[in-house]
Amino acid sequence: MSPVSPAIRRVRHPLKIRELTVKRLTPVSPRLLRVTLTGDLADFVSASFDDHVKLFLPAEGESRPSLPTVTEQGIAFDPTRPRPAARDYTPRRFDPAANELDIEFVLHGEGPAVSWARRARVGDVLALGGPRGSSILPSGLDWYLLVGDETALPAIARRLEEATPEECILALVEVEDGDAVLDLPTAAQASVTWLRREAGQGGLPDAVGELILPEGDGFAWAAGEYASIRQVRQRLIEVHGLDRQRIRASSYWKQGEIASHEALDD
């Protein structure tokens, strides 16, 4: 039998801007709010658990955002209206039958997305673009490692929820305190370890360095704060000898910066 390829399969999607309405608000934890959106979702596609969409938020004093348009040169904004703030978020759940899309907001710090989420009410309107593409992890491996902080929790929860009984998944999740610990349903053979900052339980890089990984071929996925995830990637390579092709690491935010989102590689 030939070995399973570790390569990530990339799929492109047509870019479309949609106007969506808040249908439901569900507190998942004291620091995590699930916003269920409905509206123009008929052809929405999210093929991977770590897809990201761009949310366009209403400007101060406006009830709905100015909708950008898609041109051959990219996204264009109406110069006569305030340009909406835009932030990247993970599609947590898409239900085509119910025409619902869930986005989960971490309620920490300040910023346009967090401020909007704190004030959100049923009937509020925002715009959404993407996903422009999906990065699909290799299937059929012996194990998968998921590493992240609160901002990666929607993606980790979705990956576990969509897993099959044959999959072996290890997850390391760093949160502020016990109130942020969630039940993460999965059919997989899964082990989830929670690191609580309030309890002084180290950080993700140290926890990754101390891991004993399963035998066989595996793949590591990590996302969260830039400096932390950069160190996580280094530990996977230097301590565990994991091939760079078997790691997907992303910065979902960066201490001291606004709207930072980037892949971490060489």
Give 6-57 pLDDT, tens digit per residue.
689 999 999 999 999 999 999 999 999 999 999 999 999 999 999 999 999 9
> Taking Cα atoms as reference points, which of 100, 99, 117 lies closest to residue 108?
117
Highest mean pLDDT among 75-84, 90-99, 192-201: 90-99
* Residue 95 pLDDT level (bands cut at 50, 70, 90): very high
- The full set of domains in the chain, from first to last, is 10-133 (2.40.30.10), 137-264 (3.40.50.80)
Q: Which pLDDT value is given to residue 198?
A: 86
* For residues 143-157, average pLDDT: 97
What pLDDT score does 199 carry?
A: 80
Q: Is the pLDDT of residue 126 over 70?
A: yes
Indicate the SS3 state at residue 253. strand
Q: Which residue has the tokens 């995590």?
A: 32
Residues 15 and 50: beta-carbon distance below 8 Å: no
DSSP bridge pairs for 136: 9
pLDDT of amino acid 5: 63
- The pLDDT, as a whole number, for residue 2 is 44
CA distance 150 to 131: 21
Mean pLDDT (whole number) for 145-159: 97
Q: For residue 259, what are its two tokens? A: 């709207």
Backbone angles phi, psi at 95, to 5 degrees: -120, 100
**In the structure, what pLDDT confidence band is assigned to residue 255 with cuts at 50, 70 and 90?**
confident
Task: State the Cα angle at 107 between 102 and 109, rounded to 5°.
Answer: 140
- HSE on the CB side for 111, CA within 13 Å? 17
Res 3 pLDDT > 80: no
